[in-house]
Each structure stands twice: as C-alpha cells, then as structure tokens.
Structure 1
Amino acid sequence: MNFEETRKVVEAAIQAREHRHLNDVELTILRGSWEGLTYDEMAKGSLYEANYLKGDAGYRFWKLLSEVLGELVSKRNFRGVVERSQFTYKDATPTQSVNLASDFYYVERPPIESLCQEEILIPGALLRIKAPPKMGKTELMSRLINYATNQGYRGVDLKLRLAEETDFESLDKFLQWFCSSITQMLEIKLDNKVNELWDQQLGNSKLKCMAYFEDYLLVDEDKSSLVLGLDDLDRVYQYPKIAGEFLGLLRTWHEKAKTRPIWERLRLILVHTKEYALLDINQSPFNAGIAIELPEFSLEQVKELAKRHKLNWDTSQVDQLMDMVGGHPYLVQEALKQITRWGMTLEELLETAPTEAGIYGDLLQEHLWNLQQNRQKYPKLNAALEQVITANDPVKLEPGLALKLDELGLVKWQDNGVKSRYKLYRLYFQERLKDIQ
C-alpha cells in the first residue's frame, strides 16, 4: 500500500467511528510514521514540537487507531494492521465521506444547504465556506461534492493539509503538486501529464497551471463540470510568497468563466477559518462569489439531535448543555455520544467538562497548546484572554489580539468587543492560564 491508500483506510475508519476527518497533528504523525521518520524528524517539517508529537498527541492517535481498527496499533506495527483492514474500507474514497452514519449526526442549517446546492450548479461558481474549527465546514463540503457527483458532475475534495513542507518550497513546485493531486483524485483515464507539460509549456508556473486545467482537467468527453473543493485553505497562508499568487489565481479562474466557456466548467468551493488579508482587493477570491458563514446549532436543532440519540430531553436539559458549550456542533455531538454510549448523566458530564479529565480534555489541551504556540508572535495574547474570561461584559482589545483569539476559536464578537466563546473555555482557562503566565 502507498501512503494515499493508507490514509484513505485510516480516514475511513475514523470517519465511521468518530464522524470526522483526520486533523493536522494526526496526519503529521501518520505521514511521518509511514515514511519511517522519528518524532524529532517529524517535528522539523511541521508546526509541532517533538515532545508533543511523541507524548500526548501520539498517545491519543495510536489509542484511537487501536479502537477504530480493532487491534493494538503502534508506530511500529500500524502498516500491517492497516493492510489487514483495507478490505473493510476498500471502497473508501475522498468524495465518499457522506454515509448513513454521518447522516445520523448531521443536522441541516436551512437555508444553507439548499443555497449551496443551487450555487455550485451555476457555471463558474465560487462558494466560500467559513467557520471556526470543528463547526462542520468539511462535512458540508463533502456533502456538496457528493450532491454534485449525483448530478453528473466530477468532484474532487482536496485537503491542502496533505501537502508536505517540501511542496511549498516554491510556487512552481506547489502548483505541480496541486495539479498532480487533482489528476490522481479524479481517477481519469489520463496519464499524469504534469511533468511533461511543465517541461514543454512556455510561460511561468501560473500560466502552465492554467494550461494544464484547460488541456486536461477541464476537458471531458461528456463536457461535465468539475467541482473542486479546497479544504484547509488556511494552510497556504503560512507561505506568503505562495499564498498571494495562488489565491489570486483562483480569483482569475472565477473571472475567466465570464468570458471563456471552458472555465464555466470549474466550480470552486473554498473552505477556511479566516480570510487572507495580505491581498489586493481586486485579486482576492474573498470578495467574489457567495460567502457562507456557518452558524451554531439552535436550541431546536440540539433538541432534534438529542432525539436522534434517543434522549427524551426537555428544553431545560438542552439549555444546561448549551449553557456550557453553546450550539457548537462538535461539542454538542461529543456530549450526546458520551451520554448515550457510556451511560454518563448530563450532570456528571457538565461537572468535569471544563477539566482535562472530562470528555473535552484533548480539545482543551489542543487549545492551550495553540495558545502557547502563538505567544512569541503575540506576547500579550495570554493577558488578553485572561482579561476576556474574567469580565462579565464584552471587552475591547487591540484589533490584532482580538482577531487572533477569534481565529483560535476562543472568543466571539459582540458589539465592538469580544467575549469568551463558551463557558467551557472560560472555566478551563480561568484555571490553566495561572500555570503558564
């Protein structure tokens, strides 16, 4: 098995059990382990420290794989276990993440789904889906691609976190990876012509990329459109020399659909947590097309989700849960899953929720780790968060600090200030910030 086949099996197993995709740190560990790297070597090519990869993150990942694959899995034996499991998940593909199990957990947020479905049927469409982490962006994109393929379109769900550090060495190398990945995922009856075109075509890398789309990717005997979903678009922002050129290229393609029929066949779905600010307004894809910002679940939607879990909750019980975690899809679903699977009461869950011993322990530690990673660039970030979580009313912070805390998913805007996004985070950080000041 190659790495892509291994990733598909692991992702399908986690999707079936946890109803989510691999996160960044899990993908880092999986890829590094598959390549035979030590944790120190993995850390050099990632955003994570070796101790974190080897310690908490590694322990949780191998424990999760052991649970979803039904065997004890470690860094040494995971290849063999995955190979034995490949037939269970042999039909898993990047565009097949929508299944009956996820339907059980997925709650529609009208009119978002119908609006998005209508939009991607429009020639040259550009759809932008924005929300904080774990709000359901990827799931919505997967469903839209699934919908498009059922309409006879071709669909690709490209996760930009799959690109390696070396793929970002230059714009030329990144665009070659980009074209090659789409070709592979389309599974078209066409040899990968990227190297051949890059050697023979005149012009810079952007022109070569456009030519590849026009000569190969957008050419189909049935003239079917290509719905291209780009997940984790924020990954590109870490490389400013590439980000501006690549995002500008996406905007150019959207504009070309107005004058060149072949580009009408490309429908773009961009999934991100924030916009990239360092772009000329006329080159940015973030002021074109249709923007969708995912809201949290409403009280009625949480009640409906509880009902699907066979919990006969009244409004008071739903209110108690939402007082702690709001209507955040992931946090709500984790609570309901814990209660129905393990018989925990709502009272027991809420008591331990804002601690590392509770069901959100891994997520809270991840938030803490992300906060610490940003301390060097934002020295006042901890103090700003402490100011927010100890205040009863929204706090006006320096714009950069407020935007960063919002990006991390820890605060939300109200009036001209910010407040703690959830009681869960406020209670947790009231205790933990004392340890890292």
Structure 2
Amino acid sequence: MFAQDALALLDQLLPVTLSNLQETVFCQVWEDKTYAEIADEYNYEHSYIRDIGFRLWQLLSEALREKVTKSNVKAVLSRYARSQTATAAQRTTVQSDLATKYASVESAALEFPNGPVPLNSRLYIERPPIEARTFAEVLKPGSLIRLKGPRQMGKTSLLRRILHHAKTHDIEVVPLSLHRVDQATLQDLDRFLRWFCANISYQLGIESKLDEYWNTDIGSKVSCTLYLEEYLLKQIQKPIAIALDEVNELFQFSQISAEFLPLLRSWYEDAKEIEEWRKVRWILSHATDIYVPLQIKQSPFNVGLSIPLPEFSIPQIQDLVERHGLRNLLGVNGINKLMPLLEVISCRPGLVRLALYHLSQQSADVDELIANGHTQSGIYSDHLRHLLAAIHPYQDLQSALLTVIASEGSVELPPMTAYRLESIGLIKLEGNMATISCRLYSKFFSQYLSA
C-alpha cells in the first residue's frame, strides 16, 4: 500500500480533515522517515513534528479502537484495508470523494463563524508552532501560559484546544470566563476571591468549605491561598489546568487587579517549592498587557510562556479556502483575487473566516465584501458596532483613534489611551508608536466618528 492509499483510508476513518502538515508527517512516516529527518527536511523543530505524530496516532487509535503507533501504523492500516469488502461501486464512490476532498462538502454544512471554533470543526487552522508549544507546556507541573491578542484572533479557540489536550493527558480542567462574573463581585476583593475558590471547587466536584478557611483577621488573600493549598489541592489526585479567559476584564477594576494578579504570580512562584502548587497549570487569555502599577516581580504577565497570536499567513488562508470548497480562489490566481480583501481585514482569523463563509454561501463576491464590509449592511456590521459601542462613551478614545487614522505613519499616544485602544483591538503598538490595526476599522471609524 502506498502512502496516498493510506491517506485515502484516513479520509474515510477520521471525523476531521487532516491539515497539510499532518498529511506530510503521515506520508513521511509511511516512507520510514524518522521525526528528526522530517523536521530537518521541512525546517521544523523536532519536538513539534513529534507532537504532530503523537496526535495523529491518537486520532487513529480512537477511530480504529486499537492502539496505533509510529511503528505499527503500516500493519494496522494494511489489516484494516484487507478487511474491507467494498463493492466496485463503493470503491468508485470513495475515489470520487477523494478527488473532491473539500469541495464535495456541501456549503450548507459549514458552521457559521460565531464565537470560538468548535473542537470538532475542520475549519480550525493551526498556526505552527503555537499549538505544539502550548500543548507541551500545559503538561508541565506548575506551568503558566499567556495567550495575548485582541478580539477575532482566536484566543478562546486555542484555549479550548489546550484544555482538550490537557484532558486527554488525564489533567482536570477548570475554565473560568471573567465575562461571567457579576459586576458587584468585581467591586470587592473578598467577594471575588470567594467566587474564584467556589467556582474551582464546583467544577472539580469538591464540597466547598469556604467558611472553614476564611478568616477576616488574616485577610482574604491569605484565606484564599490556604483554602486552595491546604484544602482543595490536597483533595485532588490529578493535576489541574485553570484557565482564566479574558483576564483584561479585571483591568478596569484596579483594586481587584492590583491585588489578585500579584497573588496569582505568587501561586505560580510557589510551585517551585510547594508540591501542591505543582499540580496547577495556569492558562491566561488577555487582549493586551495590564496598565496598573504593578512591580515587575508582582506581575503574572512577564513569566511563563507568552504566546502572542498572529494574523493568518497566506498559506494558512489558502488551506482555509480549500476547506471551504472555494476552488475558484485556489492557487496563485485565486489568492490574487482574494488579496485586496485580505489587505482590508489584515488577515485577522475571525474576519477571514466570516468572509470565506459568505463566499462559500455565494451570498457575496470579493468585490462586494470590499465595497460593503465597513457599512451597516456589510458582513462585519455586528463586529464594528461592538467596537463602536466600546469607545462611544469616551471622547478621548474617539479623538485619539481619529488622530491615528489621519496619520500617514505611526503616532505616539498617551500610555493609558494607547493601552485602552490596543486592548479593544483597534491599534497596534510598536514601542510607544501606534498604527491602525486594520484598514476596515479606518474606513468605518473615519466615517462614523467624523459624522
């Protein structure tokens, strides 16, 4: 059996479509190449290729319900192929399906890109080596991962995959979204820390005993630490991954963030000496760096593994185009047709996915998306209204944004203003100099703020 024949079997077996790199690794392993040889040939890190292979064998093991490894994959798939008694008509159907690998999927079956990309979605695009690095890091005792990027960059989609990877390695996961915290809770440190402990207890299925450990004389931060260290972490046998999504929600509550974030840093540091804290893996998702007066040794934003989320590359967009079945946009000519739109939306993952969805549904063509994308009737209207609502109450932010838009180059803004605009995702910062993050935003805000 040749490698391409084996790939044909994978297309039948697996519930997800393999990425280009996964297919490459599979084919090279089939030709008896080592991970090191593959990494050298394709200019990747050895550990990254090894992790790609590990996840491939895990997917096949689940599909075939038997253990699949690098060493036995040939034997297992050959045995599976021999066991098939497909008729000639069925074989023809399989060949036809392979010839139209992505385009055969009806466009109506594509999920609308609203929120994080589902775990089982074939439309999730990996951005090497980000997934491999974070997947490896979450398995390390006492680790901390920081995912940084504005809206529409895929933070939550990646965070959910890190947690899923942790679960497959027998790690308990505790996702905490700070979008869901009551405003009243965010006004009081004691109340917030009790919320934090109670939520972790509930998700781990451990009886909450907050009142037994909370002591007003020693303070809420010490009480919270004792509750986690002396009670909760001693109750669990497995390690846990605690994920705090949208940590920047805390930034506007300076009293909470100035107290809680150094406390979080101290727990991370405690993992170096205290065994209970080594059970914890922290994952923080945030739009930008904090702008509150924290000492360097108190901030959790300068330790651990930092992962700034980039825009899609052109090859990644081509992969996504293929998965949408948009054959007319494949190849050099296709990407040239798409490039004017990509320049408008700056290859932002969420904005790219929304555009490709509408193109696949034939509800608009590229020229229409460029002409109408910034308008109230365009496909980005909901996203743009959300951004407008975020700065509408603040005249200083509106004025600063118009200054950036009007500037031919970069412009320096007051630090707090720059932080707030960057956290919303409207500007990019290089040092102290700001530029607009996306031409789509220039067209929309120059129109509405001027009006």
Scaled to the shorter chain, the TM-score interval is: 0.7 to 0.9
Q: Give the alignment of 1:84-95 within 5 angstroms.
A: none
Q: What is aligned with 1:413?
A: 429
Contact 2:288-2:423 within 8 A present in 1 as well? yes
Bigger Cα Rg: 2
1:407 CA drift (Å) = 2.3
- Residue of structure 1 equivalent to 2:247: 233
Given that residues 345 and 440 in structure 2 are in contact (C-alpha distance below 8 angstroms), is that contact kept between their aligned partners in structure 1? yes
- Separation (CA, whole Å) in 1 of partners of 2:435 and 2:223: 47
Task: Output aligned runs, 1:190-339, within 5 Å.
Answer: 190-198=206-214, 203-220=218-235, 223-277=237-291, 278-312=293-327, 313=329, 314-339=334-359
- Pick the aligned partner of 1:354 from 359, 366, 374: 374
- Distance in 2, matches of 1:429 and 1:155, equals 40
Structure 1 residues 228, 333: CA separation in 2 closer, same or farther (over 3 Å shift)? same
1:282–1:270 CA distance, 2 compared to 1 (3 A): same
Q: Which whole-Å CA distance do the structure 2 matches of 1:413 and 1:245 have between them?
A: 27
Residues 147-206 of structure 1: CA distance to partner in whole angstroms, max 9, x if unpaired? 0011001111110121101212321111111111112222x2x3222233326x962211
TM-score (norm 1): 0.72
Letter in 2 for 1:386: L
Alignment of 1:70-109 (within 5 A): 98-101=118-121, 104-109=122-127
Count of residue pairs brought into register by the alignment? 336
Match in the other structure for 1:156:
174
Is the 1:355–1:428 contact (alpha carbons within 8 Å) kept by the matching residues of 2?
yes
Cα offset, 1:357, TM superposition: 1.2
Measure the CA separation in 1 of the matches of 2:277 and 2:441: 45
Q: 8 Å contact 2:287–2:424 — kept in the other structure?
A: no
Contact persistence 2:413–2:432 (CA under 8 A): no
Q: Which moved more, 1:328-337 or 1:312-321?
A: 312-321
Question: 1:124 is paired with a residue of what secondary structure?
Answer: coil
Offset at 1:415? 7.5
Once residues 164 and 273 of structure 1 are traced to their aligned partners in structure 2, the CA distance between those partners, rounded to angstroms, is 20
Give the Cα separation in 2 of the matches to 1:415 and 1:245. 27
- Secondary structure at the aligned position of 1:227 is classed as strand
CA contact (8 A) 2:244 2:283 kept: yes
Aligned partner letter, 2:230: D
Instruction: Identify if the C-alpha distance between structure 1 residues 257 and 419 changes in structure 2 by more than 3 Å, giving closer, same or farther.
Output: same
Q: Which of 111, 123, 137 does residue 141 from structure 2 map onto?
A: 123
Q: 256-265 or 409-418, which moves further after superposition? A: 409-418
2:421 & 2:250 partners in 1: Cα distance? 20
Please give the alpha-carbon distance, in whole angstroms, between the structure 2 residues aligned to 1:262 and 1:338.
49
Report deviation, 1:394.
Answer: 2.4
Contact map agreement 1:124 1:266 (CA 8 A) in 2: yes
Task: Output the amino acid matched with 1:323.
Answer: E
Q: Which residue of 2 aligns with 1:180?
A: 198
| Pairing 1:396–2:412 present | yes
Q: Deviations over 1:336-394 (max 9, x none)?
A: 1112124321112221101111011111122222121222xx3xx33332232233322
**Once the 2 structures are TM-superposed, how far is the Cα of residue 209 of structure 1 from its aligned partner?**
1.1
SS at match of 2:175: strand
Q: Distance in 1 between matches of 2:418 and 2:186?
A: 29
**Equivalent residues in 2 for 1:24-63, closer than 5 Å:** none
Structure 2's unaligned 5+ residue stretches are 1-109
**1:264 CA drift (Å):** 0.5
Tell whether the 8 Å contact from 1:299 to 1:319 is kept in structure 2 after alignment.
Answer: no
State whether residues 218 and 226 of structure 1, in contact with CA within 8 Å, keep that contact through their aligned partners in structure 2.
no
Secondary structure at 2:377 match in 1: coil
CA separation of 1:403 and 1:237: change in aligned 2, threshold 3 A: closer
Q: How far apart are 1:133 and its partner, in Å?
A: 1.5
Q: Deviations over 1:227-277 (max 9, x none)?
A: 000011111222222211110111111111111111100110111112223
Secondary structure class of the residue paired with 2:238: coil
TM (norm. structure 2) is 0.70
Displacement of 1:16 after TM fit? 6.7
- Corresponding residue SS for 2:251: helix
RMSD of the alignment, in Å?
Answer: 2.1
Shift of residue 211, structure 1, vs aligned partner: 1.6
Evaluate the alpha carbon distance shift between residue 399 and residue 239 of structure 1 in structure 2; reply closer, same or farther with a 3 A threshold.
closer
Matched residues in 1 for 2:321 and 2:189: separation? 47
Distance in 2 of aligned mates of 1:308 and 1:202: 59
Instruction: Pick closer, same or farther for the CA change 1:211–1:415 going to 2, 3 Å.
Output: closer
CA contact (8 A) 1:353 1:360 kept: yes
Tell me the percent identity. 35
1:169 corresponds in structure 2 to 187
Q: Is the contact between residue 299 and residue 318 of structure 1 (CA under 8 Å) also seen in structure 2?
A: no
The answer to whether the 8 Å contact 1:325/1:422 transfers is yes
Larger deviation, residues 322-331 vs 403-412: 403-412
Asked if the contact 1:273/1:407 (under 8 Å) is kept, the reply is: yes
Return closer, same or farther for 1:343/1:138 CA change in 2, 3 Å cut-off: same
Q: Would the alpha carbon gap of residues 19 and 146 (structure 1) be closer, same or farther in structure 2, given more than 3 Å must change?
A: farther
CA distance in 1, matches of 2:209, 2:246: 26
CA contact (8 A) 1:251 1:284 kept: yes
